[in-house]
A and B are shown apart, each in its own frame.
Chain A
Amino acid sequence: MTLAILLPLIGIFSQYNISASFEFSNYTSSIIFFTVYQSLLSALLSIVVGSLLAFLLNTYNNFYFVKIIAQTQSILFVLPTIITIFGILSFYGNYFEIYGLTGILIGHVILNTPLVSRIIYQSLNDISPNEKMLSRQMGLKKMSSFIASEWPIIKKNIPSLFVLITFICFVSFTPVLILGGGPKYSTLEVSIYYSVVFSNNFNTALNLLFFQLIICFSIYFIFFKNFRSQNFLIDDKRHIKTYFNLTLLNLFGLLILLLITLVIFSPILFIIVKGINKELLYILTSTYLWAAIYNTLIICFFSGIASIFIVYNLLVLTHKKTKISESLIYSLIIFSPAVMAVGYYILLFKLNLMYLPNIIIVIILNSFFVLPFTYNYLAPSFFRVIKENDDIANSLNLYGLSRFLTIDLPRLKKSLITAFCVSSILSASDLVVISFFGTNNLSTLTQTIYRLMGSYRMNEAYSVSLILLIFCFIYFFLAHKILEKNKWNIH
């Protein structure tokens, strides 16, 4: 894990020239300020909207369509950022002065709300059957039931999610560039990218990266210190399942639910409208599409497996010292993707490993890049389940793999499947790794979309986006069907 982060840096540092001086311009300092400002604000908004959505989804999950929304929101991550942004421009561009801070915030909220909501929703769902049985016997009022049951769970998720989203927005590239409307609204990441890829100036890149790290770690520690010190009484609370009554409050809740859903699903609507065009049939007969689908499937599946494997072992090894593992995991986001990819590129050359089949390199690097997300999907359930199962495990004298298989797996299964699906999907949406290590014969759907756009073929790009979406739906559906089929009857 540590190696995953350190190795590319060794690659980069081999190009570092210590004696070079660094010019800290006015522009850089204003960018640093703006980056911090927009990322904190974006994270705050995403978390407010995401928590609200998760709560509403959980409250009304007796409805079939609500269940569908809850399950499918993860698919939203897979759309290439640029397509999401086109969707945003089409839907909101006419109603808002979109370019500037407003645009960036709208973009980041739409991009990150599903992430927040999916994770919190899962935690809210992650309550043992025994608790559910007990909870029905209690009758609390709406507000007090929220404070007693949902709020502690939401609150427990907030610190890590806040850090995650802040970091994502901190290194945001395309959304900030396009929706920001000009270099006034930019991120350090853009300057880092420019230094690494264009001006070939590794000194500047590393210096900027160094600032990025300092700031992000400050955010991490300030935030965690303030929030982690509170005692969460999550495990002593009981979950109350309310049945749906046609009250004004419930109708209002449903309305809000639909509204948020409409907003975050708007890019999908956009792609459905745009993707069904006269090029679609032609594309289905092309060889490049099927090759891309095949590559995407392979990369998705193995990156998903690999990242689950890494995160699970990391959790087992370090779940008593979460600070260390978390800071390691999160630093994967703030080490800018461009620097990481270039670092690996240099390193693989130095080690003469470029003869490795590119698909293996792509799978390995992708599984590293998605670790922060895999971690966030798995960790909350893991901590809860492990804590609850510790006593049983000790009394039954079960350790290691046998403990995992007999008592932890049945209760972690849902989270594992979701984490696997999301990690896979995120690997499918990768553009950085594939553009550095992909070859002509190794192109993914996401990369194909960009390639098509780069050759005037906008309609084809929309169609392939639609196909990518359908691919992800099927992937999710099959993964759940196949993996959930084996029932474990322990309880």
Chain B
Amino acid sequence: MKTKILSIIFILITISSISAKEVLVVGTYDSFSAEWGPGPVIETEFEKICNCDVQYVSTSQAGTLANEIFLKDKDVILGVEMHEFDYKSENWNIYDYGYFSFIYNEETLKDIPNSFEELINHKNLKIVVQDPRTSPVGLGLLRWMKLTHPDNFSSILKKFNNNVLTYTPGWSEAYGIFLEGKADLVLSYSTSPFYHQEYEDEYKYKAIEFTDGHLVTKEIVYVRPDSEKQNLGKEFIEFMMRDNIQKIIAQMNIMYPARENDNNIPDRMRELKKPKEIKYDNFLEAEPLIKIWLEVASS
């Protein structure tokens, strides 16, 4: 039995080493590389021209893409949020973007708040958001709120917290609770309604537009500086910027294409209203915001 296992392992190793094609290991997150995500199509299309083998290694633990431990042995990392990226790599690019936004069901919510102030004064509103300690989306909310309310951030957050039903570990749980009709608002992206329109022909979900602006979030793909496949990696990144691939990303990742133009933006996405973007100079550090959040939300 032991020899059997060993020989199987041996065969597997030999098989993988004799294939002459260069292998490009792409570390990414689950929903990108899943069968219904943009990953498989991009893989097939790129392999047609690169004479290489693209292999996705995906993680479902949010945040791990920014954690050095999980990045070893990978050539390209796809899907780092712009705030978590260290900008040390030479080869990187933004492949899609979106705006943090609250989503509501227009059949059940009539009185729509259009700013954080209106939202916190709306006493009966039940909101579900993500825990900023475990979800980049939850962290995004803190940054967004801090940028729109630099001076009274903690008092706004405190009142906001009164309307929060619960903080979930990740985006999926929050969105699930919202779809189950257990909350009036969920923190997500302004492009979320696109999914329901495009794939479910459902138009009742809408994104709220805040008058004082929204925080943009961008996703980055980069070649790891210690990878031996810098050129191939660079090719891959450039490939992702092509119009047809940008369209696939927008279509399947439910985000705006980074090189947006008339050819690569899906029709229904073009029809969505883009919220006003907040302009700012420096990224806000996560730790201090989380500390304030912990104080406010746990008191």
Q: A residues engaging B (CB < 8 A)?
A: 27, 30, 82, 85-86, 89-90, 93, 99, 173-174, 177-184, 186, 190-191, 193-194, 197-200, 286-288, 342, 345-346, 349, 354-357, 431, 435-436, 438-440, 447, 450-458, 461
Contact = CB atoms under 8 A, between A and B. Distances in A.
B72 A349 contact: yes
Given A27-B298, A454-B30, A458-B179, A183 B58 contact: no
Nearest to A291: B35
Contacts of A179: 166
Contacts of B33: 440
Contacts of B124: none
A182 B167 contact: yes
7 contacts: A177-B168, A182-B166, A194-B134, A197-B67, A288-B35, A435-B60, A455-B36
B248 to A, nearest CB: 14
Contact of A197 (B34, B63, B172, B294): B63
B182 interface: yes
B293 interface: yes
B263 interface: no
A287 B60 contact: no
A454 B31 contact: yes
A354 B30 CA distance: 20
Given A99-B165, A99-B166, A453-B172, A183 B297 contact: yes
B176 A82 contact: yes
A130 B39 CA distance: 63
Contacts of A349: 69, 72-73
How many residues of B sit at the interface, in one of the four size bands? 35 or more
A490 to B, nearest CB: 29
B236 interface: no
Interface in B116-135: 131, 133-134
Contact of A86 (B171, B176, B196, B287): B176
A229 B70 CA distance: 47
A452 to B, nearest CB: 8
B93 interface: no
Interface in B42-84: 55-61, 63-64, 66-70, 72-73
A90 B180 contact: yes
B60 A200 contact: no
Contact of A199 (B172, B179, B182, B287): B287
Contact of B31 (A173, A287, A455): A455
Looking at A82, A86, A179, A455, the one whose CB has the most chain B CB atoms below 10 A away is A455
A183 B179 CA distance: 23
B298 A89 contact: no
A378 B182 CA distance: 41
A435 B66 CA distance: 15
Contacts of A447: 30, 60
Given A182-B166, A355-B13, A440-B58, A455 B67 contact: no
A329 B13 CA distance: 35
A456 B255 CA distance: 13
Given A93-B182, A200-B68, A451 B133 contact: no
B57 A183 contact: no
A357 B166 CA distance: 39
Interface in B278-299: 286-287, 293-295, 297-299
B166 A439 contact: no
Contacts of B165: 99, 181
Interface string B22-39: 000000001101111101
A461 B173 CA distance: 12
B56 A456 contact: no
A275 to B, nearest CB: 14
User: Which residue, B13, B31, B39, B56, has most C-beta atoms of chain A within 10 A?
Assistant: B31
